[in-house]
Amino acid sequence: MKRIGVMTSGGDSPGMNAAIRAVVRTAIYHGLDVFGVQHGYQGMIDGQIEPMTARTVSGIIHRGGTILHTARCAAFMEAEGRAKAAAQLQHHGIEGMVLIGGDGTYRGAEALHAEYGVCCIGMPGTIDNDIGGTEFTIGFDTAMNTAMEAIDRLRDTAASHDRIFFVEVMGRHNGYIAMMSGLAGGAEEILVPESTTTLEHLVESMRTGRARGKDSMIVVVAEGDELGSAFEVAQKVAEISEFKDTRVAVIGHLQRGGSPTAFDRVLASRMGVCAVEALIAGETGKMVGISNQEMVLRPFSDSRTVSNRPDLRLLETARILSV
């Protein structure tokens, strides 16, 4: 293998630039030419492919987002779109791809390999930590810390005004960010999609806290919780209880941006080296993961068939510590 490409796809996450840097410099170290594909699969179709050097990725390890940009691409789901993308890779002499993203990115990579023989290795880049086959994804640690810092600031205001705050964090199908940031931020209650919390239980928990002398409280809500958004939960609580003067804060896309933590930078760097060396070794159709602090290669299918759920025992830990 003489030439490889690297791209980011799907939602951005802190640490993607560190991953790009690692891929480019590892390729150069091993004597390979490396090309960057702009704007994900759409850029692959459109031929937005440019050579990269060690200097191209200088000074980006600390930056959030992705210098290669990212996009979702409906055209790649069609055979015609994939044919155009494969033709562009062939035109540039690219034999292998490192693709940084999530399950949708991997599905595209599987099709690219099956239909056109392009060797593909994936790297898990998403703040939700919801990809099977790896204990951590690039960007999760940063997003968790961003949410925790927001909770810390909101607690200052909540304590000053003796108020209850409902704080919504990202997690449409996965409660990792809510659970970990809520536990770290000392939340009184944490609502996640993986666990059922009734409205009555939530209100009773808040009443217990008030009876114990709590004048202010924080309830962290994952956006995908079955009770609804933070606004909906606050409204439902007000309708059936005395807790009517509450405030809602939605952290939103703040969790996606910002400088990656040391953990995410190191994780992305290690995964980038592993991904390139996997291509050189002839591997394909696999993603890089981390298990027990070691880099591992897993089939793309693991990203959707292997469960990666937060430990629900942490919810009980949070409740014990909220007395």
CA 293 to chain centre: 19
Q: Identify any residues that bridge with 100 across adjacent strands, giving them in sequence order.
A: 8, 123
The whole-number pLDDT of residue 309 equals: 87
Sort 321 into a burial class: Cβ within 10 Å, 0-12 / 13-18 / 19+.
Answer: exposed
Backbone φ/ψ region at 195: left (φ over 0), alpha (ψ -120 to 50), beta: beta
Closest-CA residue to 116 (of 92, 90, 77): 90
What integer is the mean pLDDT of 85-106? 96
Q: Does residue 211 share a domain with residue 148?
A: yes
- The residue segments making up the domain with residue 282 are 3-139+260-305
- Two tokens at 270? 């290690």
pLDDT value at 72 more than 90: no
What integer is the mean pLDDT of 107-126? 96
Give the DSSP H/E element, type plus range, for residue 65.
none
Q: Does residue 123 share a domain with residue 18?
A: yes
Q: Does residue 280 share a domain with residue 216?
A: no
Q: Does residue 154 share a domain with residue 300?
A: no
Give the DSSP H/E element, type plus range, for residue 101.
strand 96-101
- Tell me the whole-structure pTM to 2 decimals: 0.96
Active site residue 264: no
Q: How far apart are CA 277 and CA 314, in angstroms?
A: 37
- Two tokens at 232? 């909906």
Q: Does residue 135 share a domain with residue 53?
A: yes
Q: Structural domain tally of the chain?
A: 2
- State pLDDT tens for residues 36-71: 999 999 999 999 999 999 999 999 999 999 999 998
Q: How confident is residue 190, by pLDDT bands cut at 50, 70 and 90?
A: very high
- Two tokens at 294? 């070691």
Looking up residue 96, the CATH number of its domain turns out to be: 3.40.50.450
Q: Does residue 264 share a domain with residue 134?
A: yes
Token match 């930056």: residue? 63
Residue of 12, 103, 128, 264 with catalytic role: 128
Nearest-5° Cα angle at 266, 174 to 19: 75
Q: How far apart are CA 24 and CA 54, in angstroms?
A: 7
Q: Does residue 247 share a domain with residue 173?
A: yes
